Chain A
Amino acid sequence: MTTLTSGMKRLAVFALAVVSTPFVAYAAGEAIHIDRQKWNFAGFSGRFDQNQLQRGFQVYKDACAQCHGISRVYFRNLVQPGGPVFNEDAVKGLAATYQIQDGPNDDGKMFKRPGRLSDRVPPPYANEQEARSVHNGAYPPDLSLITKARGVEYQGSLFAHPFHILKDMVGGYQEGGADYVYALLTGYAQAPADFKLADGMQYNKAFPGHQISMPPPLSEGAIKYQDGTPATVDQMARDVVAFLHWAGDPKQDERKRMGFLVLVYLGFTALLLYGAKRRIWAKAH
């Protein structure tokens, strides 16, 4: 027994020594810190701001749509509640400015017709190959799910990580992709002197590897907002990120609204169940 206890002590000391050795990460590439932004659609009570979504769509259309599609968004989505809720006639008009391939007609030919509410927002390229050939091999991804399809890696210390995870679960953190896209849009800068930038590439603080083939899409005052908001790069980036976040999760507001009611109901039910359980078990003691 004594030998075992002393053996265990030794093991404990060893374990402690091992555990207190600092972890060193050899992650491939340099870790990039992405700041968390304050989003009005984030968290328990966050909802989309209709005006911001409208501005965001304008930024998308003027600054992104030449190269990036949002092919999972239909024109009808733009008038639905929980989204930008544009005027229906305006969206019908917008849709009609696109030519959509349809058919075959009675003669067996494919034909073009003006877009309708039931059509998807047409992507700028027919397929990935066409997009790549236009962009020198680079592929501008579809943006319908971009804020869902990107995330932010944790950068802090190992020992704080479990608490960080817990905090994000309790806070319902879902905006890593939004934070990243915002950082990317505002992350263009002069490359450091010792950085080897390849031909036709731009330096970007947020992009993995810091070399991106997309030229800076936003510039001060490039857009004139219909509601008169000053079009700073920061403002445009925030608006377009909000719009893209909505495009990836158009049911968010409905989900959170229902979630609130469900939690209230379940909380109350749990309390009642606890009372009932106490009552019944009182007889057992």
Chain B
Amino acid sequence: MKEEADLAAQTEDATRRDFLVVAASAFAAVGGAATLWPLIQQMNPDASTQAMASTEIDVAPIKEGQAITVMWRGKPVFIRHRTKTEIDAAKSVDPSSLPDSSARNGALPESAPASDANRTKAGKEQWLVMVGICTHLGCIPKGQGLSDVKGDYNGWFCVCHGSHYDTAGRIRRGPAPRNLDVPAYSFLSDTMIKIG
């Protein structure tokens, strides 16, 4: 008899109990999810890696026609002092006719057309700064050394899978889907560049 009474009491209590069960479960679930967050987040670049996020380079020693490779965030960055011919060749191309018509400039929106002006700084057209990693599968294109193969467009050539880049680092032919990325950078002085 007593048990029956208890059962009846429990049924009356049902709503309150349901609420407690739901609330307890929800609290526990939030705790579980919150615990996951640090476990996932720890995989992202740590403070020491983040600290290497920017770098400064003096480009004065680079003579016209030469190029240097500097490391930035563990990636090679190509800095080329372009010749007049190279700049003119890059400027003469209609951006809309390119395989990738976006400037891929970290400082500009995605929709900016891939004109030579959008891939360099105004008044500093002779300097081309970009991440030297092929946008296909991450190889480093050839073309930095004076005697390197430079591909059919006299810029860079990726020997891995045969992507040709022009003198503004834009993909012209081959499997690479995008132009070489131009990182966000600025001129601190006439010849001092800060990348990142």
B148-162 contacts to A (CB < 8 Å): 159, 162
* Closest residue of B by beta carbon distance from A211: B147
Chain A nearest CB from B190 CB (Å) reads 28
Contacts of A280 in B (CB 8 A): none
Chain B nearest CB from A64 CB (Å) reads 25
Report the interface size class on chain B: under 10
Contacts of B147 in A (CB 8 A): 198
Contacts of B162 in A (CB 8 A): 28
Chain B nearest CB from A156 CB (Å) reads 24
Chain A nearest CB from B61 CB (Å) reads 15
Contacts of A198 in B (CB 8 A): 147
Report the interface size class on chain A: under 10
* Closest residue of B by beta carbon distance from A29: B159
Measured in the bound complex, the distance between the Cα atoms of B6 and A69 in whole Å is 88
Chain A nearest CB from B69 CB (Å) reads 13
**B interface SS class:** loop
Measured in the bound complex, the distance between the Cα atoms of B147 and A170 in whole Å is 43
Chain B nearest CB from A29 CB (Å) reads 9
**A interface SS class:** loop
Measured in the bound complex, the distance between the Cα atoms of B162 and A198 in whole Å is 24
Measured in the bound complex, the distance between the Cα atoms of B148 and A198 in whole Å is 12
* Closest residue of B by beta carbon distance from A26: B162
**A185-207 interface bits toward B, Cβ cutoff 8 Å, 1 = contact, 0 = none:** 00000000000001000000000
A98-141 contacts to B (CB < 8 Å): 137
Contacts of A28 in B (CB 8 A): 159, 162
* Closest residue of A by beta carbon distance from B160: A28
Contacts of B159 in A (CB 8 A): 28
Contacts of A137 in B (CB 8 A): 145
Chain B nearest CB from A125 CB (Å) reads 21
Measured in the bound complex, the distance between the Cα atoms of B148 and A137 in whole Å is 13
Contacts of B145 in A (CB 8 A): 137
Measured in the bound complex, the distance between the Cα atoms of B145 and A198 in whole Å is 14
Measured in the bound complex, the distance between the Cα atoms of B162 and A137 in whole Å is 25
B133-171 contacts to A (CB < 8 Å): 145, 147, 159, 162
* Closest residue of A by beta carbon distance from B159: A28
* Closest residue of B by beta carbon distance from A199: B147
* Closest residue of A by beta carbon distance from B147: A198
Chain B nearest CB from A28 CB (Å) reads 6
Measured in the bound complex, the distance between the Cα atoms of B145 and A19 in whole Å is 42
Measured in the bound complex, the distance between the Cα atoms of B145 and A28 in whole Å is 19
Measured in the bound complex, the distance between the Cα atoms of B159 and A198 in whole Å is 21
Chain B nearest CB from A200 CB (Å) reads 11
B106-131 contacts to A (CB < 8 Å): none
Chain B nearest CB from A151 CB (Å) reads 18
Chain A nearest CB from B156 CB (Å) reads 15
**A27-38 interface bits toward B, Cβ cutoff 8 Å, 1 = contact, 0 = none:** 010000000000
Chain B nearest CB from A133 CB (Å) reads 15
Chain A nearest CB from B15 CB (Å) reads 66
Measured in the bound complex, the distance between the Cα atoms of B159 and A140 in whole Å is 22
* Closest residue of B by beta carbon distance from A28: B159
Measured in the bound complex, the distance between the Cα atoms of B20 and A132 in whole Å is 73
Measured in the bound complex, the distance between the Cα atoms of B159 and A137 in whole Å is 20
4 contacts between A and B (CB under 8 A): A28-B159, A28-B162, A137-B145, A198-B147
Contact residues of A with B, CB < 8 Å?
28, 137, 198
